[in-house]
Structure 1
């Protein structure tokens, strides 16, 4: 049984469309830490990027649990209009040394709650910025388990930890990768946050990080648009071939 040109074109278009979705989908698929890496031992500013993956409900709360096995002595949230941030602290079993002083407690959780009328609607995402440090020097990553709450009562638990050699879990926890600090005298990296007299990154560094994140987003958009162009070209070529076949068939008859 022969397949009609129209049916073949529909199959090609469907397959090409699936490729576009596969490439575009992961851009904001999970709750993530942006940027995804920072030097050990320093201070940095990170964003918890939260996409709304629900087509019928809006995100109204985010809870981020900080790692207590590698506690962070300094945690500060950036004020966000329409959102209230609440910081919870916990006593440490063993004090940590920060700038020569003993620190006996650390932030264990941050909860952002939307004010009345404020939400992250379907098709949108929000970024929640935090200044943290000093970052530990005895681990290569920090895992932040997060809970995303919707206004219909649904709660998505981004708490699964990835394991080497296994596929990524369905709801992975946000992870910040820690890199080795630059050697003394080396030029500072673009991602390193210079500290002020209190050990916190300055505004210029935060702006640079935001610009880098935006550049990554633009790069992802460009790749998706490129794939869309290829898809359109494939469909156009298929239509052209089908037209020539119909014309040849008519001439032969």
Structure 2
């Protein structure tokens, strides 16, 4: 059967759309902070979400470095079955004042190590929850560089920082965006309750942020696909019109 130009164009558009959808999945599999924002000056519970990107190896260790140029006075980890958390502290160049006390050192690194039951298997992810406070008020973001170690010895370094006007790096560091306290008063109080009582509400916040991110990504992919198919059909229509005029 002879393939018409319109059919060939439509086929090409479908292949392009499939490629776009295929690429959208792997691109989103980064180590991230969930939710991605918190109020300045607040006590907030966040989760470092770690996906296993290997087809054959499991994740057995996760290391997260906290920014010492904007240190956090209080850092607490939530116990996670199958994992042991170790906190390392570093001396501060400039002490922090917290609840009337001078803080001369702060947590600079958290290391989670898995036992035989805690590995992140291929196709799975794990949330590592941490309570942070008070978050700094002199910056609009915190960048956490992370290392992910697999049981085959591979180490993935999530340490690249995004730059304005440039494409996202291949291995971006997790970033927590800090919002102005006045604009985020409503969310600041529940976050403080998390820190004090270990409430489980943080789980719903993580799920909501993850859902919003997934929805936005899906809509973006759908928009690209629709645009590609529309352009292809438009070209096909012009070709048919030109062919009819010539005859």
> Does the TM-score normalized on the shorter chain lie above 0.5?
yes
Partner of 1:206: 202
> What RMSD in Å do the two structures reach over aligned CA positions?
3.2
Shift of 1:188: 3.4
Q: Which runs of 5+ in 2 are unaligned?
A: 234-247
The number of residues matched between the two structures is 228
- Measure the CA separation in 1 of the matches of 2:210 and 2:104: 37
The one-character-per-residue Cα deviations of 1:177-230 (angstroms, maximum 9, x if unpaired) are: 1111027xxx8334653425x964751642441342353266368649978x97
Matched, 1:91 2:91: yes
> Which SS does the other structure have where 1:182 is aligned?
helix
- Measure the CA separation in 2 of the matches of 1:35 and 1:159: 19
Partner of 1:242: none
CA contact (8 A) 2:31 2:173 kept: yes
- Greater percentage in helix: 2
- Measure the CA separation in 2 of the matches of 1:38 and 1:104: 25
Matched, 1:189 2:190: no
Partner of 1:20: 21
Partner of 1:249: none
Partner of 1:248: none
Higher relative contact order by CA 8 Å / sep ≥ 6: 1 or 2?
A: 2
Partner of 1:215: 211
- Distance change in 2, residues 1:139/1:216 (3 Å): same
- Measure the CA separation in 2 of the matches of 1:223 and 1:40: 30
CA contact (8 A) 2:43 2:188 kept: no
Q: Which runs of 5+ in 1 are unaligned?
A: 239-253
CA contact (8 A) 1:34 1:47 kept: yes
CA contact (8 A) 2:47 2:206 kept: no
The one-character-per-residue Cα deviations of 1:91-126 (angstroms, maximum 9, x if unpaired) are: 212211011210111101000111114321222111
- Measure the CA separation in 1 of the matches of 2:163 and 2:218: 31
- Measure the CA separation in 2 of the matches of 1:155 and 1:8: 43
- Distance change in 2, residues 1:4/1:114 (3 Å): farther
Partner of 1:114: 114
CA contact (8 A) 1:89 1:107 kept: yes
* TM-score normalised over the length of structure 2: 0.78
